[in-house]
Amino acid sequence: RIVYLNGAFLPFEEAKVPVMDRGFLFADGIYEVSAVLDGRLVDNAAHLARLDRSLGEIGIRNPHSLDEWERLETELVARNGLAEGLVYMQVTRGVYERDFGFPPADTAPTVVMFTQAKTVAANPLAERGAKVITVEDIRWKRRDIKSVALLAQVLAKQAAVAAGVSEAWMVEDGAVTEGSSSTAFIVTQDRRLVTRPLSTALLPGITRAAVLRLAAEADLVVEERLFSVEEARAAQEAFYTSASSFVMPVVEIDGAAVGDGRPGPLGRRLRALYIEMAR
């Protein structure tokens, strides 16, 4: 496996980051994940725009132009012979003696990229449907930044793993914010698509935006508003979206079946439309 690190393509074993890297010490950095389908990056320009925004929000200079990023990703995908999976990109504030304030402005950010092979399109879980649990959202107040500080999401996902389910939906003041690594959607009994509006309380999902565009084109009624756990449990359908799962139907929330307990027609249709768009 070939990894990109600070300008070089290296064998996995040789790609090493110093102990004083601020990503390691402070989680002082941001990341992105783009899907790869048939060897091509999916909706990558939108991921790179969010990467640029995340960097800007925490005052790290973007070390590459969007074209350079795309070229590096494309080369990494080719060098790894990746047909389907993910490209992970991370930028931290670089390596400097540990001190909370920013290092000098000329400190080079650390740039890491690697690929992961994964079946995203023909994923059997999408046929069965995923189960989710709900957990308290214990994160900070700038969830719109794709920060590498993911401890709350790690604990949420581990709670899901321990419960034998695929995802944890995080809940704040009774309303679902998002999944530990995905955006949450429900379909009401009168077939309206509901997802939380964008704010600093959640990540602006790239797949979310694509699904909302596809839903509008398909003349579905969309409501961007808060929804409670109770409303989600009583929904006709539910699904979650992300670069790593596309559109994933949800068939169970906290042990209770959603709808008839099988992937619903709207979720399945949006998944098919998304994959068609991605190809």
Which residues contact ligand PDD by CB under 6 A? 33, 178, 181-183, 203, 205-208, 241-244
Q: How far is the CB of 98 from ligand PDD (least distance, A)?
A: 26
Closest-by-Cβ residue to ligand PDD is 207
Q: How far is the CB of 2 from ligand PDD (least distance, A)?
A: 20
Q: How far is the CB of 104 from ligand PDD (least distance, A)?
A: 30
Please identify, using beta-carbon distances, which residue of 132 and 203 lies nearer to ligand PDD.
Answer: 203
CA distance 176 to 179: 8
Is residue 157 classed as helix, strand or coil in its secondary structure? helix
Please identify, using beta-carbon distances, which residue of 134 and 183 lies nearer to ligand PDD.
Answer: 183
Residue among 246, 263, 258, 160 nearest 208 (CA): 246
Please identify, using beta-carbon distances, which residue of 29 and 95 lies nearer to ligand PDD.
Answer: 29
Q: What are phi and psi of 112, to 5 degrees?
A: -125, 140
Q: How far is the CB of 99 from ligand PDD (least distance, A)?
A: 28
Active site residue ranges? 146
Q: What is the largest CA-CA distance in the chain?
A: 58
Residue among 79, 30, 75 nearest 55 (CA): 30
Contact 156, 170 (CB under 8 A): yes
Please identify, using beta-carbon distances, which residue of 50 and 93 lies nearer to ligand PDD.
Answer: 50
